[in-house]
Structure 1
Amino acid sequence: MSIEVKNIHKRFGNFIALDNVSLNFPQGELTALLGPSGCGKTTLLRIIAGLEQADSGHVFLDGEDASGQHVRERQVGFVFQHYALFKHMSVFENIAFGLRVKRRDVRPSESEIKKKVMSLLELVQLDWLADRYPPQLSGGQRQRIALARALAVEPRVLLLDEPFGALDAKVRKELRRWLRRLHDELHVTSIFVTHDQEEALEVADQIVVMNKGRVEQIGSPDEVYNHPASSFVYGFLGNVNLFHGRVHEGVLDSGGIAFDAPDHAQAQDANGIGFVRPHDIEVERYTADAEGIVARLRRSHAIGPLAQLELVRADNAQLIEAVISTERYQHLGLTEGETLIVRPKRLRVFVNESASQSA
Structure 2
Amino acid sequence: MSIEIKGINKQFGTFTALNHINLDIQTGELLALLGPSGCGKTTLLRIIAGLETPDSGQILFHGEDTTDTHVRERQVGFVFQHYALFRHMTVFENVAFGLRVRPRKTRPSEAEIKRKVHELLGLVQLDWLADRYPAQLSGGQRQRIALARALAVEPKVLLLDEPFGALDTKVRKELRRWLRRLHDEMHITSVFVTHDQEEALEVADRVVVMNKGKIEQIGSPDTVYDQPASQFVYQFLGNVNLFHSRVQAGFAEIGEARWPAPDTHDGQAVAFVRPHDIDIDRTQVGNALPVVINHIRAIGPMVRLEMTLQDTQEIVEAEMPRDAYAGRQFKEGERVFIRPRQAKVFAKEDYAI
- TM-score range normalised by the length of the shorter chain: over 0.9
Identity of aligned residues (%): 63
Q: CA deviation at 1:148?
A: 0.3
One-letter identity of the residue aligned with 2:2: S
Counterpart contact for 2:291–2:309, Cα < 8 Å: yes
Aligned residues: 353
User: 1:264/1:355 Cα in 2 relative to 1: closer, same or farther (>3 Å)?
Assistant: closer
Spell out the pairing of 1:60-71 with structure 2 (5 A cutoff).
60-71=60-71
Greater CA deviation, 348-357 or 153-162? 348-357
Spell out the pairing of 1:1-359 with structure 2 (5 A cutoff).
1-254=1-254, 256-264=255-263, 267-269=265-267, 271-286=268-283, 292-302=288-298, 304-357=300-353
- CA distance in 2 between counterparts of 1:144 and 1:34 reads 22
SS at match of 2:327: helix
One-letter identity of the residue aligned with 1:123: L
RMSD (CA atoms): 1.4
- CA distance in 2 between counterparts of 1:60 and 1:194 reads 23
- CA distance in 1 between counterparts of 2:36 and 2:258 reads 30
After superposition, give the CA deviation of every residue in 1:156-201 in whole Å (9 maximum; x if it has no partner).
Answer: 0000000000000000000000000000000000000000000000
Q: CA deviation at 1:337?
A: 1.3
After superposition, give the CA deviation of every residue in 1:178-226 in whole Å (9 maximum; x if it has no partner).
Answer: 0000000000000000000000000000100001100011111111111
SS at match of 1:37: coil
Counterpart contact for 2:7–2:20, Cα < 8 Å: yes
Q: CA deviation at 1:290?
A: 6.8
TM-score, normalisation: structure 1? 0.95
Counterpart contact for 1:286–1:294, Cα < 8 Å: no
- CA distance in 2 between counterparts of 1:203 and 1:290 reads 39
TM-score, normalisation: structure 2? 0.97
One-letter identity of the residue aligned with 1:275: F
Q: CA deviation at 1:261?
A: 2.8
- CA distance in 2 between counterparts of 1:292 and 1:268 reads 22
Q: CA deviation at 1:43?
A: 0.2
One-letter identity of the residue aligned with 1:307: V
One-letter identity of the residue aligned with 1:346: Q
- CA distance in 1 between counterparts of 2:108 and 2:300 reads 54
Unaligned runs of 5+ in 2: none
SS at match of 2:105: coil
Q: CA deviation at 1:352?
A: 4.2
One-letter identity of the residue aligned with 1:320: V
